[in-house]
Amino acid sequence: MIRVRLQVDRAVDRAVDRDTRRALVERCHRIARALGIRSGALELLGLRIVDDTTMIALHREHMGTAKPTDVLSFPGEGYGEGDIAIDWDQLRRQAAVATPAGLRAEAEQLLLHAMVHLCGHDHATPSQARRMRRAETRAARAAALPRPTRPYGAGA
C-alpha cells in the first residue's frame, strides 16, 4: 500500500475540511489499487493542496506557463515516489456543484488524472490523449468513481 503525505497550504487550510482530507487520502489508495500500482512501484505519494498563487509558481517553474491549472503531477526524487499538486481555487471554479461533496467529486477526478500521469501516460498528442482517457476510464470503473468526462486542455 502506498503511503500518502497530505499537505494543505495555509492559504486554503480552512477551505479543505477534515472529511475531505480523509476522503482524498482514501481515494489515493483506491485509485492506486485500480491502476494496479503494486507495492514498490509507488511507495510514497505527496499530495499538496494549494491556492492559485502557489499553483502559478509551480506551473511556471515546471511547465513554463504562468497561469493556474487544476492539477500537476511530478515523478518524485527517488524510486517509488510521486507528487501531486491540486489548486483548490481552480477546483472550486470548475466543480459542477460547489458543495463539499461536489468539491470532493472534482478532487477525485483530478487525483485520478494525476495518478494516471504518474503511471506514464500523457495527453500531449491526440493519440496519447485517447490512450490516457482509456486508462482513466478503466481505472475509474475499477475504483467505483464516475467516468471522466472533462476534455483535456488545448493541444490534446
> Order of strands across the sheet with 3-8?
3-8, 44-50, 81-87, 71-75
For the cut 50, the answer to whether the pLDDT of residue 65 exceeds it is: yes
The distance from CA 151 to its chain's CA centroid, rounded to whole angstroms, is: 15
For 86-103, how does the pLDDT look when each residue is reduced to its tens digit (9 = 90+)?
A: 999 999 999 988 898 899
Range of the domain at 17: 3-142
Domain count of the chain?
A: 1
For the cut 50, the answer to whether the pLDDT of residue 32 exceeds it is: yes
For the cut 80, the answer to whether the pLDDT of residue 42 exceeds it is: no
The distance from CA 130 to its chain's CA centroid, rounded to whole angstroms, is: 18
Mean pLDDT of the chain: 90
Residue labelled with grid coordinates 489499487: 33
Answer yes or no: is 8 within a domain. yes
Mean pLDDT of 129-147: 94
Answer yes or no: is 151 within a domain. no
Mean pLDDT of 124-145: 94
Answer yes or no: is 96 within a domain. yes
User: 149 pLDDT band (50/70/90 cuts)?
Assistant: confident
Q: What residue type is assigned to position 84 of the chain?
A: I
Distances 93 to 10, 122, 130 between C-alpha atoms, Å: 19, 24, 26
46 beta partners: 5, 83
Greatest pairwise CA separation for the chain in angstroms: 40
Answer yes or no: is 12 within a domain. yes
Answer yes or no: is 154 within a domain. no
* Whole-number pLDDT of residue 76: 74
For the cut 70, the answer to whether the pLDDT of residue 41 exceeds it is: no
Answer yes or no: is 11 within a domain. yes
For the cut 70, the answer to whether the pLDDT of residue 39 exceeds it is: no
CA nearest 7: which of 56, 36, 62, 46?
Answer: 46
For the cut 60, the answer to whether the pLDDT of residue 155 exceeds it is: no
Answer yes or no: is 156 within a domain. no
CATH classification at residue 132: 3.40.390.30
Answer yes or no: is 31 within a domain. yes
